[in-house]
Amino acid sequence: MTAASVPQAPAGPARLPLVGSIRLLRLELRRSIMLWLLPVIAALFWLITYRSAMSNPPMWNIRAMSMQTSILAVFVPTIVGAAAWLGSREARHGLTDLLSGTARTRWVRQLATWAATTCWALVAYLGCVAVLYTVTARQATWGGPLWWPVAVGAASLPASAALGFVAGTARPSRFTAPVVAVTAFLALEITANFIHGDNSPWQVSPLVAGPWEIGPDQGVATFYPYLRDLPIVQLMFLAGLSVALLAMLGLPAGSGSRRMRWFAAALTTGGVLATVAATALAGTGRLDPHGMIAIPALHRASSDRPVPYTPVCADTKIPVCLHPAYAVHLPTVVAALDSVLGELAGLPGAPVRIEQAAASYQQESPNGVRIGRSGKVMSGNPPTLHLLLPMQGGRSMTVGELSSALRTETAHDIVNSVIGGDRRDLSPAQQAVLDAILKTSTLRPGTPAATAAQRLAALPPAARHAWLTQHVAALRAGQIALADLP
C-alpha cells in the first residue's frame, strides 16, 4: 500500500474563534482574583457607602448622588489593583514566550482576562446597588430610583480595570498592583478638588453627581428632574477611556497580526477623541437655577419643567403643605410653627396656606453657591406663603436642629412677611410686634421697643389677636409708632 492510499481520518468540524474565546473567558472567570476580593468589597461597601447613605434622609436624590460619590472609593482602587496584578501575571511567571505559540493572540488573552475582572466587578457593584436601593425603596415617601448615577458608577468599572491592566502590563512587578491602586484612589480624589465653579472640565470626573460645591443636596432633583446632561458626558468620557486603554494593549509587536495592530491603533484614536470631546463638553457645564449641571449642547427644555406632585398637608389653623419627599418632617414643622400660625390666622393679609417652595441655586465666585427661595415669598389671592425649609439651604440637620431652626429662622420669616412685607429694615414698632409674637428677647433690654414688646406679649392672646386684626395693615405700611402699641 502506497502512502497515497493511506486512509485519512475524517476532518472534524472547524471551531469558531468565538467559541474558543468564550471558553477562555469562562476559564478566566473561574480563576480570577476578583473572586477572593468580593468579601473585601462587600465589607468596604458597608463601611464606606452603606452606612454613610443610611445616615442621610430617605430621599432617592440624596442617597443616589452620595452613592455615586462614595461607592467609587470602594471599587476603583480594588479593581485597579486586581487588574494590575492580573495584567502582570504572564511576565511575572515568565510565560510570555511560552504562550506566544498558542492559538489566541496576546491581545485576545488580555481582553479575556480584563473582561473576567470587569464581569465580577459589575456583579459586586450591582449587588451593592440593589441592597442600597431596596432599603431606600422601603423608606422613601416619594419618587423612584435614579439610574443615571448607577450608570456612571457602572461605566467606571471597565475603565478602572483597563487602567490597572495597562499599568500591570507596562510594569510587570509584584509592587505594581498596590502602587497603582493607591495612585488611582488619590488621583480620583485630588482631581475633583480642581473643580472651581462653572465651566470646569474637571466636572467630567465620575465622582461628580451634581454641583461639587454643595455636594448631594436635598433640594436637587426633587422639585425638578435629575438632569442627564453631565451623566451622558461622563459615560462618553469613561467609554472613550476604556476603549483607548484596551486598544493600547494591541499596539505592541507580538500582540497580534499587523491588521489587528492597525485596528487597535484606530480604536485608540477613536477612544482618545471621545475622551477629549467629553472633557470639552464638561467644560461648558453651568449650574442651573435648580441645582444641577446643565450642558447647553445636551440640555433639553423639558428638563426645566417642575415634576408634578401632590403635597402632604397638615390640618392646622393655617394649613402647612410639604412636598411628599419631606413628609417625614411635617410633624416637626407643625409642632414648631403651631403657636406662630395661631397668632397670624385670620389677620388681614396673612396667608391662608403655607406651601413648601423649591430652592433656587446661583453660582458665586470663586467657588460658592447661593441657595435661596425661588419666586416671591407670598403670592396669589387669597395669599399663599411659600416656605423654604432650613435643610433646603444645603445643611444636614437632626430633628432637634430642624425644630430649633424652624422656631427661630422660619417663624421669623413668616411673621416678618405678614407685619413687615418681608422687609429687613423693620420699624421699631414692627420689631416690637415681631418680638412679642415670637416670644423672643432679641431687643436690647430697657429700650422703648423692648418695653413695648413686653407690654404686647403680656396681653391675653385673644386681645393681642384682636388688636393685630384691626391694625396689621397700618403696621405693615409703617404707620404704627411704639406709642400706638397696646
Phi, psi of 382 (to 5 degrees): -70, 155
Residue 94 confidence (pLDDT): 53
Residue type, 336: A
Torsion sign (Cα): 396, 402, 405, 406: positive
- Using N-to-C axis directions, what is the helix angle for 258-282 and 229-248, rounded to 10°? 150
pTM of structure: 0.84
Return the bridge partners of 347, or none.
none
What is the enclosing helix (H) or strand (E) of 43? helix 34-44
326 grid coordinates: 419631606
415 grid coordinates: 411673621
Q: CA torsion angle for 212, 218, 221, 223 (degrees, to 10)? A: -140
Residue 250 near residue 107 (C-beta atoms within 8 A):
yes
Enter the DSSP assignment of 407. I
Residue 344 near residue 414 (C-beta atoms within 8 A):
yes
Q: Which of 142, 136, 147, 169 is nearest to 245 (CA)?
A: 169
> Using CA atoms, how far apart are residues 483 and 91, in angstroms rounded to an integer?
93
318 grid coordinates: 393655617
Phi, psi of 464 (to 5 degrees): -65, -40
Kindly report the number of other CB atoms within 10 A of residue 224's CB atom: 20
Q: Mapping DSSP to helix (H, G, I), strand (E, B) and coil, where does residue 44 land?
A: helix
Q: Which of 99, 93, 86, 76 is nearest to 31 (CA)?
A: 86
Q: Where are the domains of the chain?
A: 18-304, 309-422, 423-486
Residue 141 near residue 325 (C-beta atoms within 8 A):
yes
Residue 6 confidence (pLDDT): 47
390 grid coordinates: 432650613
Q: What share of the chain is helix, strand, coil (3-state, %, to 5)?
A: 60, 5, 35
Residue 75 near residue 160 (C-beta atoms within 8 A):
yes
The CA angle 361-294-204, to the nearest 5 degrees, is 110
Rounded average pLDDT per 10-residue block, the chain, 486 residues: 47 46 79 89 93 88 89 90 84 52 69 90 95 94 92 94 90 86 87 75 86 70 91 96 91 76 90 95 89 90 90 90 91 89 86 89 76 76 86 76 86 85 76 85 80 87 88 86 86
> Using CA atoms, how far apart are residues 468 and 184, in angstroms rounded to an integer?
65
Phi, psi of 310 (to 5 degrees): -105, 115
228 grid coordinates: 442627564
β 293-294/384-387 pair status = unpaired
> Using CA atoms, how far apart are residues 97 and 382, in angstroms rounded to an integer?
85
The stretches of 303-369 forming alpha helices (DSSP H) are: 330-344
> Using CA atoms, how far apart are residues 427 and 434, in angstroms rounded to an integer?
10
Q: Which of 136, 151, 128, 111 is nearest to 55 (CA)?
A: 136
Do you find a cis peptide bond into 311, omega within 30 degrees of 0? Answer: no
Q: Which of 385, 375, 232, 391 is nearest to 303 (CA)?
A: 232
The CA angle 269-275-280, to the nearest 5 degrees, is 125
> Using CA atoms, how far apart are residues 27 and 30, in angstroms rounded to an integer?
5
461 grid coordinates: 392672646
